């Protein structure tokens, strides 16, 4: 039975599923890194105009860090349909994953910015730098470096969370397993065991990268 | 576009039933996970190669795979070995085992933060091993471990939503059921999202208050609790 389950066509299905998982996760992380940094800057930038937006960013982060991704995917799916926006399911999943990803990455970057002493800002101003110059040349280079290890950890959990895109019918790794299970109900254990190993092979090397980044940081 | 939130009010009892199952399952998984976490952390610090290897393999395997796949594995895979679990049993098993992996790392982090000198100092004061654990080490580890445990509990509540996919009737499952017979998908999921937010805000609030009370007078309150537990088992 095992040879039948893991025939070439079925392995291709699993491979395509893994590719979709990686696509969802990488787009989610990229969106999170870009917009999360923007939100983190909005939340921490010491100017009065931004201080008004701080509670909004706080609310966004608090709400979406306390929402299960599964519910968010379903809400996006039906919300976009209600707004008469016709997009493919993959886009729906990417939107939902990005929304959570932005919230989490915002927290990572904010922690990085806030762990820097305030004197860093003052030093920039004392050198006659403009606020934005201080941000780009002094604060962000240090803060983003500090945010790398937690972000790698988050990337791992995001890869695992893409499994929830199964619910709107996207064929990623977990759903490929579910499809195979329809064909071989008795081989469920081997199928999901294989899916589990595939996730492990994707996620585990990232923790080496995380350890490496952390060691580099500590040496500095 | 009109939204009818009356549907939510009419089905509120169902939602509450789902939410209480979510909380119940998460509490059990947290307790189980804590026990696994303590054992796993001791295993990961063990000098015996086999114990170290098994606990490390367990932690890495379950922390690097999605809860959904673990739930599928236990729910659909175990029957081929003659183990038939209901969806609640399989879900609880998956959640506990998954949480155990995370808790192991949390507890290990707390134990690693204890400096050797602290133990030596306690022993130098003439404390017995039991006293050393009770008054020095355990209160300190607990204080370090408590805040990440509260975070982990929130993640557990969010993660448990996945168990709806194997048919456990918790909050997400109820939401999908109500959506299926009212066709008010957006309203239902929007309110479910708010319910999760409220649920996590309330639980973290309660846990923080408990933690604050327990950790404020760490010398009196916590070691009294630990002392009662250990005293009863010790003698």
Interface of B with A in 137-196 (CB under 8 A): 154, 158-159, 161-162, 164-165, 172, 175-176, 185-186, 189-190, 192-193, 196
Q: Which among B157, B159, B161 is positioned nearest to B170, based on CA atoms?
A: B161
User: Which residue in the block uniquely carries the two structure tokens 């194997």?
Assistant: B166
Quote the pLDDT of residue B235.
33
**Predicted local confidence at residue B221, as pLDDT:** 56
Domain ranges across chain B: 6-234
* Chain B residues with beta carbon closer than 8 angstroms to that of A167: 165
Q: Hey, what are B63's tokens?
A: 């922390």
The residue count of chain A comes to 220
Distance CA A200, CA A192 (A): 12
b/e per residue B200-216 (b: at least 16 CB within 10 A): beebbeebeeebeebee
The residue of chain B nearest to residue A197, with distances taken between CA atoms, is B65
Interval B182-188 mean pLDDT: 91
Place of tokens 């209600």: A82
What pLDDT, on a 0 to 100 scale, did the predictor assign at position B233? Answer: 43
* Nearest residue, CB atoms, B64 vs list A75, A78, A200: A200
Select from A68, A101, A166 the least CA-distant residue to B172. A68
| Residue B196 C-alpha from the chain's centroid | 16
* CB distance B107 to B41 below 8 Å: yes
Q: What is the separation, in whole angstroms, between the first and last Cα of chain B?
A: 70
Among the residue ranges A43-47, A164-168, B61-65, B189-193, the one predicted with the least confidence is A43-47
Please name each of the domains of chain A with its CATH number.
Answer: 2-219 (1.10.3720.10)
Structure tokens at B132: 């050393």
Specify the range with the lowest mean pLDDT, choosing from A31-45, A83-97, A197-211, B131-145.
Answer: B131-145
pLDDT, position B216: 66
Tell me which residue in A69, A167, A187 faces B165 most closely, judged by beta carbons.
A167
Q: Tell me: the pLDDT tens digits for A88-102?
A: 999 999 999 999 999
Each residue of A134-155: pLDDT tens digit? 999 999 999 999 999 999 999 9
ipTM confidence score: 0.91
A80 and B CB contact within 8 Å: no
CB contact under 8 A, B197 and A199: no
Residues of chain B positioned with their CB less than 8 A from the CB of A182: none
| HSE toward the beta carbon, residue A101, CA cutoff 13 A | 30
Please tell me the total number of residues recorded for chain B in this structure: 235
> Per residue in B3-28, pLDDT tens?
888 888 999 999 999 999 999 999 99
**Mean pLDDT, residues B77-104:** 93
Please indicate if any CB of chain B lies within 8 Å of the CB of A153.
no
Query: Quick one: fold of B6-234?
Result: MetI-like fold (1.10.3720)
The separation between CA B4 and the C-alpha centre of its own chain, rounded to angstroms, equals: 36
pLDDT digits (tens, 9 = 90+) for A9-43: 889 999 999 999 999 999 999 999 999 999 999 98
CB spacing of B65 vs A192 below 8 angstroms:
no
pLDDT, tens digit (0-9, with 9 covering 90-100), for A35-79: 999 999 998 887 777 888 888 999 999 999 999 999 999 999 999
Asked if A31 and A62 touch (Cβ cutoff 8 Å), the reply is: no
Report d(CA B68, CA B83) in Å as an integer. 19
* pLDDT of the residue at A96: 96
- H-type helices in chain A, by residue range? 2-5, 8-44, 48-51, 54-65, 69-82, 89-115, 119-126, 131-134, 140-161, 173-183, 188-219
Q: Please indicate whether, in this complex, the C-beta atoms of A189 and B76 are within 8 angstroms of each other.
A: yes
State the pTM of this model: 0.89
């Amino acid at each position: 039975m095992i040879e039948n389950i893991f025939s070439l066509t079925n392995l291709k299905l699993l491979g395509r599923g893994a590719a979709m998982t990686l696509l969802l996760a990488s787009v989610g992380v990229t969106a999170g890194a870009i917009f999360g940094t923007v939100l983190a800057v909005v939340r921490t930038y010491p100017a009065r105009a931004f201080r008004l937006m701080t509670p909004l960013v706080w609310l966004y982060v608090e709400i979406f860090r306390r929402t299960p991704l599964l519910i968010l995917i379903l809400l996006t799916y039906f919300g976009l349909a209600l707004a008469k926006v016709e997009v493919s399911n993959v886009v729906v999943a990417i939107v939902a994953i990005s929304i959570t990803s932005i919230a989490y990455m915002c927290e990572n970057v904010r922690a990085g910015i806030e762990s820097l002493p305030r004197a860093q800002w003052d030093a920039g101003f004392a050198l006659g730098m403009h606020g934005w110059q201080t941000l780009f040349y002094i604060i962000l280079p240090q803060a983003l470096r500090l945010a790398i290890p937690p972000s790698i950890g988050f990337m791992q959990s995001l890869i695992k969370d893409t499994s929830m895109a199964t619910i709107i019918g996207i064929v990623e790794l977990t759903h490929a397993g579910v499809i195979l299970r329809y064909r071989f109900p008795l081989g469920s254990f081997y199928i999901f065991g294989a899916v589990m190993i595939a996730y492990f092979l994707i996620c585990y090397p990232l923790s080496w990268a995380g350890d490496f980044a952390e060691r580099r940081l500590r040496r500095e | 576009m009109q939204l009818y939130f009356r549907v939510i009010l009419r089905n509120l009892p169902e939602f509450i039933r789902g939410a209480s199952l979510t909380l119940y399952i998460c509490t059990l998984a947290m307790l189980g996970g804590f026990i696994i976490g303590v054992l796993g952390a001791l295993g990961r610090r063990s000098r015996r190669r086999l114990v170290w290897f098994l606990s490390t393999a367990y932690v890495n395997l379950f922390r690097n795979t999605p809860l959904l796949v673990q739930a599928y594995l236990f729910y659909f895979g175990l029957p081929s070995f003659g183990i038939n679990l209901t969806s609640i049993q399989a879900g609880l098993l998956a959640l506990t085992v998954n949480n155990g992996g995370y808790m192991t790392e949390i507890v290990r982090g707390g134990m690693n933060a204890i400096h050797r000198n602290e133990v030596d100092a306690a022993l130098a004061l003439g404390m017995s091993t039991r006293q050393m654990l009770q008054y020095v080490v355990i209160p300190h580890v607990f204080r370090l471990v408590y805040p990440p445990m509260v975070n982990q509990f929130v993640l557990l509540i969010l993660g448990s939503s996945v168990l709806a996919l194997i048919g456990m009737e918790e909050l997400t499952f109820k939401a999908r059921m109500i959506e299926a017979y009212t066709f008010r998908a957006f309203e239902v999921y929007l309110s479910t999202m708010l319910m999760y937010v409220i649920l996590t805000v309330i639980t973290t609030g309660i846990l923080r208050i408990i933690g604050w009370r327990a950790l404020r007078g760490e010398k009196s309150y916590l070691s009294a609790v630990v002392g009662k537990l250990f005293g009863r088992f010790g003698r």
